[in-house]
Chain A
Amino acid sequence: MTLGRRVARGFGGVARGSGPAILALLATVAAQAQQVTFDRILHADREPQNWLTYSGSLFSHRHSLLTQITPSNVKNLELQWVFQTRGPAEPVEKFEATPLVVDGVMYTVLAPNHVVALDAATGRMFWMYSPRLSPLARVCCGRINRGLAILGDTLFMGTIDGHLIAIDAKVGRPVWDVALSKPELGYSLTVAPLVIKDKVLVGPAGGEYGIRGFIAAFDAKTGKEVWRFNTVPGPGEVGHETWPPNSDAWEHGGGSIWVTGSYDPDLNLVYFGTGNPGPDWNADPRPGDNLYTDSVVALNADTGQLKWHYQFTPHDEFDYDSTQVPVLADIQWQGRPRKVMLWANRNGFWYALDRASGEFLRGKPFVRVNWAEGIDDKGMPKRVLNATPEGTLVYPNNQGATNWYSPSYSPRTGFFYIPTWMDTSSTYTKGPAEYKAGNQYTGRFPTMPVPPLRTGPGNVNTRTPQEGWGAIQAFDAKSGELRWQFKMSDVTDSGVLSTASDLVFAGGREGYFFALDARTGELLWKGNIGGQVSAGPMSYAVNGRQHVAIAAGSALFVYALRQ
């Protein structure tokens, strides 16, 4: 065991109030000494002062075990530092990254692909790395990035022009750089990579450009591709029969990867959600279920072989990507322990699945839904609406009941926390869609009263509640019951963080960052940080102090208790 490792383990005690000065010194040494092994990532719960993966753990709970900030003292939160990015970001260049923190050093990504290493205590920069990006890159929904992965001394970042780059975490220089596809065809990487064992897993965004999606694993040392799973199966692959015969629809069938997956080491399965089929809003070119779009796929982490899949929205016409982080929870299910997966989907239903077998356990609406009358016993939506040439009014709207924003699960409360768009609708009017390489391949853009992106300059919100509002909802994972909801006037693109001291942190488009009681939803603290929150909060500790970080607008804000 290294010195650094002892520091890491000892840190949990710091949060409970012992020897911060000595440990601060040791932490400095640790930052220079230890590498991030996969064993550390696998057991991230042993070092809650760090945040080693996009969602904080491979089960993707976005749940911090730090307990220094509590419901009773959260009112004493104070801004510690702000990291302003270079100039005001374009509104489509939202700051969506969740930082990593490793032994006092924070790593994050400024839109679109500027990597920085910061002192987690002061926000001062160690280095910055900006790869040269192809001007041909085309991105659907902003030149953005959701974050990094780390293994050993190496960081991994996907770029908007479709490269995966390994970066030396100490000096910010590239180690290797591989191109996954041609950026001019719309393949871009916005996902924070996922490290499993010795591999780095990513997949492309681009479902609005007629891409054919995949999840690929790369050797972390060399960048060599080890396996690839096509989210739209080709001829001869299982699932290809869900695409029209004698047609090239599958070649442009979408199935993007927008957010990071999860991993169960006991099952050796890695889980990813997949995006919409292409074209988004005119399904005429693609009769059939269109596997594996709008699905969760469970893959063998070593080979990429499909173990099981579950499709939330077969033959989607409403852009209901399954771009959500799979939340893995071990809970008592009808009297016996069960490995489940919790999933609040863009289509307005939230699900519980058996994550070993893929068996459908439960599917319930969590917002106003009119496109389906429910989910049947086999897990199939009872669909009642389709896009029409005249226009069809559909709840929830095109951005969905929730989207890529991270939910949270607290093993303490047993609650599943979902950032939610309430009472939103879109009118889908079926329009022509013709594939042309590099052009958007969507059909006609639906209309909706709530803009998909909040764009300034302008007022935050003049809408009525009937046009849509936002909430943080807490559902009991076991019973499926709604326990509380915190209402916001505007919708939210914020992720949710829960903590082991029973706090929930989240934000919204209005520019507030706030703390709620994880058991009751009571508002305990709020700060006005001005910019739209389009990222997930995370927590770490440095120098014996718990911090909470949130990106908003074009800056990163970091809070800790007043000293």
Chain B
Amino acid sequence: MTRALALLLLAAALAAPQEHSYTQADIEHGARLYQSSCAGCHGPNGDMVPGIELHRGQFRRATNDTEIMRIIQSGIPGTTMPPSSFSDAQAGAIVAYLRTAAPASGPGREGVSVARGDAAKGKSLYDGKGQCGSCHRVNGEGPRLAPDLSDVGTVRPASELRQKLVDPDALVRPGNRFVDAVTKSGAKISGRLLNHDTFTVQLLDSNERLVSLSKSDLKEFTFVKSSPMPSYRDKLSAGELDDVVAYLVSLKGFRP
């Protein structure tokens, strides 16, 4: 199978769940409607109602675009989802926006991002020159401390992945933050923050242990401002970065 055919099949597979073709105008119109009518409950990134991640195509009750449109128009009786008076065109525009928006993308930003590189080459770079696997985990292989990338292609657009590779400090998401703690007895504990509240801290420490600490036992508790990830700006060529991004975009998780 040629690479071109493989990409064609991949594209076809991605397009399969979508029954409509979306114009940029539809997407932008849908983004406006979404932000004014839906974001109040679903949140600007479509992930504020548990079990539903609109921007990732994760719906509780809908399996295709027509069903999503019907729910937008009719609501779901007995739940918090109200009916609306959106026309078919308006509901369709919202679906277009939802189907093309990646998490954290805002209205007006480009929707589907296209990875230009070669995913197979990107995997070689991930495993070899880039040494990405020395920190990250994909499909059960690799350490656990850095973000698991098994489904990063479904949750991050190519543009953000590329930016992360060259400027890791630009955006550290709340779930990927590292903290340093020093206990009153002098023990140092570092790791990825899983949760903290007024009295306690939960983290995955550098030895991959789940640790819960009492803040009253700590002398210091600080957020690590920079990302532990190195920049690949000078380590990889532009073409190599494209390849790594293409590989990352191809990672769709265990249940794509």
A residues with CB within 8 A of B = 90-93, 135-143, 184, 208, 431-433, 436-445, 447, 449, 451-453, 455-464, 487-490, 508, 510-512, 526
Contacts and interface: CB of A to CB of B under 8 A. Distances in A.
Interface in B187-212: 193-199, 202
B82 A451 contact: no
A433 B83 CA distance: 19
A440 B40 contact: yes
A451 B196 CA distance: 16
Interface stretch (B41-49, B138-146, B160-168, B233-241): B41-49
Contact of B41 (A92, A447, A457, A459): A92
Contacts of B36: 431-433, 440-445
B98 to A, nearest CB: 15
A437 B177 CA distance: 44
A141 B42 CA distance: 11
Given A440-B37, A451-B48, A462-B174, A90 B80 contact: yes
B86 A135 contact: no
B199 A512 contact: yes
B48 A455 contact: yes
Nearest to A142: B80
Interface residues of B, number: 36
25 contacts: A90-B50, A90-B80, A137-B82, A141-B41, A431-B32, A438-B84, A439-B37, A439-B86, A440-B37, A440-B40, A442-B40, A444-B32, A445-B35, A445-B36, A445-B40, A456-B50, A457-B50, A459-B175, A460-B196, A460-B197, A462-B174, A463-B174, A464-B177, A488-B198, A526-B199
A441 B85 CA distance: 13
B198 A431 contact: no
- Name the prevailing secondary structure of the A interface residues: loop
A524 to B, nearest CB: 14
B82 A510 contact: no
Contacts of A455: 48-50
Q: Among A440, A451, A510, find the residue whose CB has the most chain B CB atoms closer than 10 A.
A: A440
B224 to A, nearest CB: 10
Interface centre among A135, A140, A437 (most CB of B within 10 A): A135
A121 to B, nearest CB: 31
Contacts of A91: 49-50
Q: Is the interface of B mostly helix, strand, loop or mixed?
A: loop
Among A445, A452, A488, find the residue whose CB has the most chain B CB atoms closer than 10 A: A445
Interface in B52-107: 75, 77-80, 82-86, 106-107
A490 B197 contact: yes
Given A440-B36, A441-B36, 11 more contacts: A92-B49, A136-B83, A432-B32, A432-B36, A442-B37, A445-B39, A452-B48, A459-B175, A459-B194, A462-B175, A510-B198
Nearest to B79: A90
B85 A436 contact: yes
Contacts of A439: 37, 84-86
A137 B79 CA distance: 10
A460 B202 CA distance: 10
Given A138-B82, A445-B36, A508 B44 contact: no
A522 B175 CA distance: 32
Contacts of B85: 436-439
Contacts of A432: 32, 36
B46 to A, nearest CB: 11
A287 to B, nearest CB: 20
Contacts of B39: 444-445
Nearest to A91: B50
Nearest to B104: A447
B111 to A, nearest CB: 17
A460 B198 CA distance: 11
Given A438-B85, A444-B32, A92 B40 contact: no
A489 B37 contact: no
Contacts of B174: 449, 462-463
Contacts of B79: 90
B68 to A, nearest CB: 17
Contacts of A487: 198
A526 B215 CA distance: 15
Q: Which of B32, B175, B202 has the most CB of A within 10 A?
A: B32
Residue from A93, A141, A447, A449 having most chain B Cβ neighbours under 10 A:
A447
A449 to B, nearest CB: 8
A138 B40 CA distance: 12
B198 A489 contact: yes
Given A445-B44, A447-B106, A508-B198, A139 B175 contact: no
